[in-house]
């Protein structure tokens, strides 16, 4: 897959199926668009292209808060998902105030007509241009609008997945995503208290703007190098020891290497319990023994 900043000089001239949207998380609903795109690409002997944005368009319209910068995937994971879904050419353009003022006609003239489009695929709720163009404005193209996908009677959407993660319901989030929610980060030095109670942890600092699940304990897998291990993760403030900073720590089962400075990826599998402030370290160890059993046999 080739990744470009969109401009008239770097677009590929091969016939292509263009998929339009923002695609935060590239969840199961989004994946149905790429199912259709691959079908059309095989039929028309065309490549698959995506025209999208590096950041959420909402940034242009709403008062800023840091959550507007957060996404369901890191930029690297998002690109990986595009490639896994058959994308050959990934074009980014910044969603700015100037871009937001383009009419659907302007968007077609300045963007779509620069590509050799064999067909266009959009989602059921896709709109473009300041005049909120939709399928009707794409009549000069062979355009397809894919129906919404539901789960348990509700629409699969990025906002629903975000809320599930914030609520700690990673089981639901994973089902809607179609893959396990993950966060990558550097292993850094922490307080090292886990070692003193038989549960050493890798303290992980993420460099990507992603949603950290609800405070609590989770069954996780963790990728270290080219191997994946089972573990249990704690998100919280180390209440028993009077901690004040929110942390992500993972006890990696059957692992004894030092990995400070390495980048690891944590895959959240199941919420075990919320955080508890224990009266004693012995009570904490007893609970962690139970958490480990749940995690190992998940």
Q: What is the pLDDT of residues 5-36, one digit of tens each?
A: 998 778 888 999 999 999 999 999 999 999 99
Write down the pLDDT at residue 240: 44
- Report if residue 219 sits inside a domain: yes
| Residue 289, domain CATH | 2.40.30.30
Question: Which domain, by its residues, includes 29?
Answer: 2-153
CA distances from 276 to 6, 86, 110, 282 (A): 50, 45, 56, 13
For residue 167, give both structure tokens.
């609520």
The verdict on 135 and 230 lying in the same domain is no
Q: Are residues 133 and 241 in the same domain?
A: no
| Count of structural domains, the chain | 2
152-172 residue pLDDT tens:
999 999 999 999 999 999 999
Distance CA 236, CA 199 (A): 16
Residue 18 belongs to some domain of the structure: yes
* Domain containing residue 111: CATH number: 3.40.50.620
Task: Return the closest-CA partner of residue 52 out of 89, 27, 77.
Answer: 89
Q: Domain for residue 171, yes or no?
A: no
Is position 158 within any domain?
no
pTM to 2 decimal places = 0.92
Closest CA to 131 of 99, 105, 96, 111: 105
- Whole-number Å distance between alpha carbons of 156 and 138: 25
Q: Is residue 170 part of a domain?
A: no
- Reduced to 3 states (helix: H, G, I; strand: E, B; else coil), residue 164 is helix
For residue 150, list its beta bridge partners. Answer: 155
Q: What is the pLDDT of residue 68?
A: 86
Verify that 68 and 186 share a domain, yes or no. Answer: no
Give the tokens for residue 23. Answer: 């695609």
State the average pLDDT over residues 228-242.
78
């Amino acid at each position: 897959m080739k990744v470009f900043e969109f401009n008239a000089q770097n677009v590929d001239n091969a016939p292509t199926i263009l998929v339009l949207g923002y695609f935060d998380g590239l969840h199961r609903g989004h994946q149905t668009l790429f199912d259709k795109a691959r079908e059309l690409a095989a039929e028309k002997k065309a490549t698959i292209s995506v025209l999208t944005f590096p950041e959420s368009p909402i940034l242009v319209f709403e008062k800023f808060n840091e959550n507007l910068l957060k996404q369901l995937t890191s930029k690297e994971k998002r690109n990986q998902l595009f490639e896994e879904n058959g994308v050959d050419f990934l074009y980014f353009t910044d969603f700015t105030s100037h871009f937001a003022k383009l009419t659907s006609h302007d968007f077609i003239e300045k963007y779509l007509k620069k590509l050799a489009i064999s067909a266009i695929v959009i989602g059921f709720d896709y709109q473009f241009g300041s005049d909120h163009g939709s399928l009707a404005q794409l009549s000069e193209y062979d355009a397809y609008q894919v129906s919404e996908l539901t789960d348990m009677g509700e629409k699969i959407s990025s906002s629903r997945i975000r809320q599930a993660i914030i609520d700690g319901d990673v089981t639901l989030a994973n089902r809607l995503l179609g893959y396990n929610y993950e966060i990558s980060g550097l292993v850094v030095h922490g307080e090292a208290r886990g070692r003193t109670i038989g549960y050493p942890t890798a303290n992980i600092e993420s460099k990507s703007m992603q949603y950290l699940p609800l405070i609590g304990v989770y069954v996780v897998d963790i990728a270290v190098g080219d191997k994946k291990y089972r573990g249990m993760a704690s998100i919280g403030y180390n209440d028993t020891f009077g901690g004040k900073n929110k942390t992500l720590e993972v006890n990696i089962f059957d692992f004894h290497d030092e990995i400070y400075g390495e980048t690891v990826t944590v895959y959240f599998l199941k919420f075990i319990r919320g955080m508890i402030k224990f009266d004693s370290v012995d009570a904490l160890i007893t609970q962690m023994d139970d958490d480990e059993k749940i995690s190992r046999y998940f």
